[in-house]
């Protein structure tokens, strides 16, 4: 889906988790991961791959399997990049899978191979609140529809998550260990 807000989910998730858990580098990796599924269009445009095949649009790169693979790559790069391995895996995998989930909200398309490699069958949602047919692929009408159906819910999710994180950080008991300097005398 040519959307303005594919980068919204990683931004909202990073706001929820906070800078201590999601560094700028990991945030950029998540934003890139949220956009990279559309790389499959290069196969369609330049390699002559049919649109509705596994290597075509909304096929392999729009699957949970692809998201897990990118998450594993992030986990492998975590030590070198200074990220926590588990957070890097989850952040990048969730950022990647957010792309096909947002694509499922549009009224156009052939569905996504979301559950590949378990099945190549494409899925669609019965409820598709983003009417691309009337709004066009780009422009003001499309932008405002995405703000209403994607942006506002993500903003609420980020605000609630950040408030919850701050609240949990405040009630977390302080570290009760005695500093090593106390025993130095």
Average pLDDT, stretch 31-51?
92
Are residues 30 and 91 in contact, defined by beta-carbon separation less than 8 angstroms?
Answer: yes
**Looking up tokens 């290069």, which residue turns up?**
42
What percentage of residues in the chain have a pLDDT greater than 90?
Answer: 55
Q: Residue 1 falls within a domain, yes or no?
A: no
112 to 49, 52, 59, 99: CA distances (angstroms): 16, 9, 6, 10
Are residues 62 and 37 in contact, defined by beta-carbon separation less than 8 angstroms?
Answer: yes
Residues whose CB is less than 8 angstroms from the CB of residue 43 and which lie 6 or more positions away in sequence, other chains included: 49, 55, 56
Q: Residue 2 falls within a domain, yes or no?
A: no
Split into its structural domains, the chain has a count of 1
Q: How far apart are the first and last CA of the chain?
A: 66
**Chain segment 43-54, per-residue pLDDT in tens:** 889 998 988 888
Are residues 79 and 25 in contact, defined by beta-carbon separation less than 8 angstroms?
Answer: no
State the DSSP H helix or E strand holding residue 44, giving kind and residue range, or none if neither: helix 40-46
Q: Residue 78 falls within a domain, yes or no?
A: yes
Neighbour count for residue 23 (Cβ, 10 Å)? 17
Q: Render 55-91 in DSSP notation, one character per residue.
A: TSTTSGGGSHHHHHHHHHHHHHHHHHHT--HHHHHHH
**Higher per-residue pLDDT: 180 or 111:** 111
Look at residue 68 in the predicted model and tell me its pLDDT.
97
Q: Residue 3 falls within a domain, yes or no?
A: no
**Higher per-residue pLDDT: 76 or 170:** 76
**Chain segment 123-167, per-residue pLDDT in tens:** 988 888 777 666 566 677 778 888 888 899 999 999 999 999 889
In the predicted model, is pLDDT for residue 84 greater than 60?
Answer: yes
Beta-bridge mates of residue 112: 123
Give the range of the structural domain holding residue 96, as residue numbers without chain letter: 8-183
pTM: 0.84
């Amino acid at each position: 889906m040519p959307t303005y807000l594919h980068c919204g989910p990683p931004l909202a998730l990073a706001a929820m988790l906070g800078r201590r858990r999601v560094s700028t580098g990991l945030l950029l990796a998540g934003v890139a991961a949220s956009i990279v599924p559309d790389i499959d269009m290069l196969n369609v445009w330049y390699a002559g791959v049919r649109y509705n095949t596994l290597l075509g649009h909304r096929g392999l790169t729009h699957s949970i399997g692809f998201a897990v693979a990118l998450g594993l790559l992030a986990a492998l790069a975590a030590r070198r990049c200074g990220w926590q391995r588990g957070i890097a895996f989850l952040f990048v995998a969730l950022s990647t899978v957010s792309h096909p989930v947002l694509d499922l909200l549009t009224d156009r398309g052939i569905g996504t191979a979301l559950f590949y490699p378990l099945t190549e069958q494409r899925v669609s949602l019965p409820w598709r609140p983003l009417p691309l047919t009337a709004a066009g692929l780009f422009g003001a009408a499309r932008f405002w529809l995405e703000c209403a159906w994607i942006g506002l819910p993500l903003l609420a999710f980020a605000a609630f998550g950040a408030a919850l994180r701050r609240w949990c950080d405040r009630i977390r008991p302080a570290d009760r260990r005695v500093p090593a300097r106390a025993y130095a005398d």
